[in-house]
Amino acid sequence: MSLAIYPGSFDPMTYGHIDIIDRSLKVFDRIIVAIAINPAKSGLFSLAERTEMIREVFSGNPRVEVDSFEGLLVNYLERRKANAVIRGLRAVSDFEYEFQMANMNRKLLPAAETFFLMTGADYFYVSSRLVKEVASLGGCVAGLVPETVRKRLTEKVGGGE
């Protein structure tokens, strides 16, 4: 059974993330969506809220698990006995940071590989940060995030129907 870890903040999960997970499922048998806990960055949604939203979206799909981790990704990979990491690429601007991270992880754990997937054209411009910004300014984010996320965003920061 092939297994890959998809780490990220997922604050909150967007259709861009979901697109990457759907593509990964064509290649890997199981995906663990691993929410990175960053004590220095509180985020809009709590860990429990982020977990709940992702579980709702993938309920009924036993191939997707939701988990969280603190500290180094490579330690988490070893703990979960996984050696594949999924990351998504949108624009050239993602490349520099992702390239550095992938190489650092390769240095720390040579047994692991990072796989980059390109998002579908519809989601190139979607990021959690922008979705939060648009919602907080009263814009409609339907079509960018699943309904459960849209509802919770509206409760937290407002936004159009």
Could you list the active site residues? 17, 41, 90, 128
Q: Minimum Å distance from CB 89 to ligand ADP?
A: 6
DSSP per-residue string spanning the chain:
--EEEEEE--TT--HHHHHHHHHHTTT-SEEEEEEEE-TT---SS-HHHHHHHHHHHTTT-TTEEEEEEES-HHHHHHHTT--EEEEEE-SHHHHHHHHHHHHHHHHH-TT-EEEEEEPPGGGTT--HHHHHHHHHTT---BTTB-HHHHHHHHHHH----
User: Does the footprint of ligand ADP cover residue 10 (CB under 6 A)?
Assistant: yes
Residue with Cβ nearer ligand ADP (17 or 152): 17
User: Does the footprint of ligand ADP cover residue 127 (CB under 6 A)?
Assistant: yes
User: Does the footprint of ligand ADP cover residue 20 (CB under 6 A)?
Assistant: yes
d(CA 161, CA 142): 8
- Report the chain's C-alpha Rg in angstroms: 15
User: Does the footprint of ligand ADP cover residue 23 (CB under 6 A)?
Assistant: no
Exactly one of 24, 105, 114, 128 binds ligand ADP (CB under 6 A); that residue is: 128
User: Does the footprint of ligand ADP cover residue 24 (CB under 6 A)?
Assistant: no
Tokens of 126: 């979607």
Q: Minimum Å distance from CB 124 to ligand ADP?
A: 7
Exactly one of 87, 109, 130, 157 binds ligand ADP (CB under 6 A); that residue is: 87
Exactly one of 4, 17, 73, 85 binds ligand ADP (CB under 6 A); that residue is: 17
Judged by the rule CB under 6 A, the positions of this chain that interact with ligand ADP are 8-10, 14, 16-17, 20, 87-88, 90, 94, 119, 123, 126-128
